[in-house]
Amino acid sequence: MVSDVYFASMMAKKPDEYEVVRVRRLFSAAGFDDQIQEGDLTAIKLHFGERGNETYVKPGFVRQVADAVKESGGRPFLTDTATLYGGSRNNAVNHLLTAMEHGFDLSAAGAPLIIADGLLGGDYVEAEIGKKHLDTVKIAGGVAAADSMIVVSHFKGHSMAGFGGAIKNLGMGCAPPSGKADQHRASKPAVAEERCTGCGGCAAVCPESAAVLEGGKAWIDPEVCVGCGACLAACPEGATELDWEKMPIFIERIVEYAFGAVMGKEGRVGFFNFVIDVTPDCDCAPSSDGPIVPDVGILASKDPVAIDAASLDLVNGQEGIRGSALKSHHGRGEDKFRGVWPEADGRLQIKYGEEIGLGSSRYRLIEV
């Protein structure tokens, strides 16, 4: 199967082509208006950005999606789920306050905000998927109950999954904290003592206080660690290490969760990927590094696998930015996220997504 992926380049600068106009054009071209029925409660699944992060998809874009949903007959709401770790989005109150600090409210974004897994992340349903790693997955109640969904993703790097796009926004993003823990179980790091200088960087960023300094060296308590990966990016010596042989399990679990998030909504889910501000790490990070490639554009598709495959190819088709977090793979065609996270195999998201029937890795790119 070949899936259609619609693309609006950031380079198409014409007087009547504001970036937000492109969102509306993509919405129509991709046929999202046909996926929404009159009176639908339509979840707009996004990431409001951790406090301190600046590269989440901005409210001005999201407003265009919300308005287009309303024009299609739907009643949109903006939504995300609680994080597994502490930080600024670990319950609905903190999450909504962070979202509002980032400019998301009814007047700016055109739709109410509802945290999909409830006040403390306890509102979810179990969905039977019967896949290789997981028989059931936990999907946030507000996502499961929505009639239709538009998934708005910022496409960027990720220290353990390689990159984050539509699949990760579905899999990790639609799960309550207990579902995120199911996925992270295989991904807890340890400290290589011989490389640790005792700088304390890992302890400073660890949201769970699982990384502690003892006798001038760091140690990670596996009972407390939630596998969020923040200490991987923070260590200047590369001393916080994952067991990379287990990483495929982590990535495949994300994909299985993504399958569960759209199950029962066949033909009722659309995806936007914003391939702009392509940072090395995800929007869960409490800061934003500079981009590793120039802005590419905005993509829309009904297929989460195809849109991620196309986004990845477009990123890799760019010349890498010298002086950014990209340490290698600067040339056109080279795998940019491997140039930041050499061990993380993001392509497995696409390969396994196709294998379990989430979508197609083959796509036709249609410029609008």
Alpha-carbon span 129 to 268, nearest angstrom: 19
Contact by Cβ (8 Å): 255, 349: yes
- Continuous H helices in 102-246: 106-109, 141-145, 166-171, 177-184, 201-205, 230-234
* Residue among 206 and 314 whose Cβ is closer to ligand SF4: 206
* Candidate residues 116, 230, 269, 296; the one interacting with ligand SF4 per rule CB under 6 A: 230
Site string for ligand SF4, 78-117 (x = CB under 6 A): -------x--------------------------------
161 contacts ligand SF4 (rule: CB under 6 A): no
Q: Check binding of 348 to ligand SF4 (CB under 6 A).
A: no
Task: Give the residue, chosen from 118, 227, 297, 353, that forms a contact with ligand SF4 under the rule CB under 6 A.
Answer: 227
Q: Is 299 in the site for ligand SF4 (CB under 6 A)?
A: no
154 CB-near residues (< 8 Å, 6+ apart): 47, 55, 56, 57, 164, 273, 274, 276, 277, 283
- Give 149 or 210: the residue with its C-beta nearer to ligand SF4: 210
Q: Is 147 in the site for ligand SF4 (CB under 6 A)?
A: no
Strands (DSSP E) along the chain, which ranges?
3-9, 41-45, 75-79, 124-128, 136-140, 148-154, 156-158, 162-164, 190-191, 211-214, 217-220, 240-241, 269-275, 297-301, 363-367
Identify which range of 114-122, 150-158, 224-232, 296-304 contacts ligand SF4 by CB under 6 A: 224-232
Is residue 170 near ligand SF4 by the rule CB under 6 A? Answer: no
Which phi and psi (to 5°) does residue 111 adopt? Answer: -160, 150
Q: How many residues bind ligand SF4 (CB under 6 A)?
A: 29
Least separation, in Å, of the C-beta of 212 and ligand SF4?
A: 9
Exposed (0-12), middle (13-18) or buried (19+): which is 192, by Cβ within 10 Å?
Answer: middle
Report in angstroms how near the CB of residue 289 gets to ligand SF4 at its nearest: 17
User: Footprint of ligand SF4 on this chain (CB under 6 A)?
Assistant: 85, 189, 191, 196-202, 205-206, 208, 210-211, 218, 220, 225-231, 234-235, 237, 239-240
